[in-house]
Amino acid sequence: MIVTQSLERLASSQDLSESAAARCFDHLFSGQMSPAQSGAFLLGLRVKGATSQEMAAAVHSALKHSRQCPAVHGRSIDTCGTGGDGKKSFNCSTAVSFFLAHMGYQVVKHGNRAVSSACGSADVIEAMNIPFAQTAEEVHTSLAASNFAFLFAPSFHPALAHIAPIRKDLGIPTLFNLMGPLLNPARPTHQLLGVGDPRAVSLVADVLARSGVQAGAVVHGAKGFDELTPCGVNTVIMIRNGRCTPADVDPAGLGIPKCSPDQLAAGDKETALHIMRDLLQGRGTEAVKNMVALNLGLALSLLDQDPDLAGCVRRARQVVDRGVMTPIGAEA
């Protein structure tokens, strides 16, 4: 009954209450919706436009149906983006996570294989012989060993598997294209989250603010990236204790020279891995190192509650210039 009533509301372009949306997503993730109902439900939300209440219900339900991972003790951070920006850029957020772990911060990186990049975070982790954490015990063991754990999304979200064929058949983006970074079962206290679609920045920020995260930032990079870039002024929504504050991040005001998008590209997996290995050894082009420093600086500002972003970026650039010992059995 709730599914039929909700489909009627969506067909009339009416929003669902958070409780109704939650019950529908519970039906979706538990397989109680038929494929036709599932497709109609996702399409209805897409056509109407999902609200933060509906998306928060989806996130809550997806986490409820995920393999549980007890909260990590103390501060922890995730750095990832929604993908979908089509830029084929190097793995900036993964590089940032390595540097953060090297600096002593606990990183619980939640990710998957490539979507819009030449090489996804899971592809990098795998190529560097870093083991995926596929259980809660493995997450805590990895953190204790290196301050870094990679949670391979499919291992923690089996309920999403039966929805994948429906999404594929639909052939268009749905709210699931935005939800990935919000579904980290380790529930990090801090998060740097990139969004490739500028129209979705406020929506994702509202949902992240409702998640209980202590501090976070949702960013849309200049020239359409799902990370901060040195290509121009970046759109950012800062989140602290459930409050959203819009801000712009201008690299020029942080001492970072402007670059072009093609200076940040990695055309294939081999190039992406070469860029990563260079970064970890303190090498790489100025544009690439500056992009990592921008994102690392913002992450440090969040973690240390330091409002001096320029100072955090300078500190980050020093760390990037020094490089880092490759983590957890990685091969240079």
DSSP per-residue string spanning 55-103 = HHHHHHHHHHTSPP-PPPSS-EEEEEE-------B--HHHHHHHHHHHT
The token duo for 77 is 């951070």
In this predicted structure, the answer to whether residue 126 has a pLDDT above a threshold of 80 is yes
Overall CATH class of domain 76-157+171-322? alpha beta
Contact yes or no for 238/227 (Cβ under 8 A): no
- Specify the higher pLDDT residue, 266 or 316: 316
pLDDT score recorded for residue 328: 46
Contacts of 172 (CB under 8 A, 6+ apart): 43, 46
In this predicted structure, the answer to whether residue 206 has a pLDDT above a threshold of 90 is yes
pLDDT score recorded for residue 330: 43
In this predicted structure, the answer to whether residue 71 has a pLDDT above a threshold of 80 is no
Q: What does pLDDT average to over the chain?
A: 92
In this predicted structure, the answer to whether residue 136 has a pLDDT above a threshold of 70 is yes
Say how far apart CA 203 and CA 195 lie, in whole Å: 10
Fold held by 2-64: 1.20.970
Nearest to 144 by CA among 155, 133, 154: 133
CA 149 to chain centre: 15
* Rounded average pLDDT over 101-105: 96
pLDDT score recorded for residue 117: 55
pLDDT in tens, 147-190: 999 999 889 999 998 899 999 999 999 999 999 999 999 999 99
In this predicted structure, the answer to whether residue 114 has a pLDDT above a threshold of 90 is no
Q: Does the fold of domain 76-157+171-322 match that of domain 2-64?
A: no
pLDDT score recorded for residue 267: 79
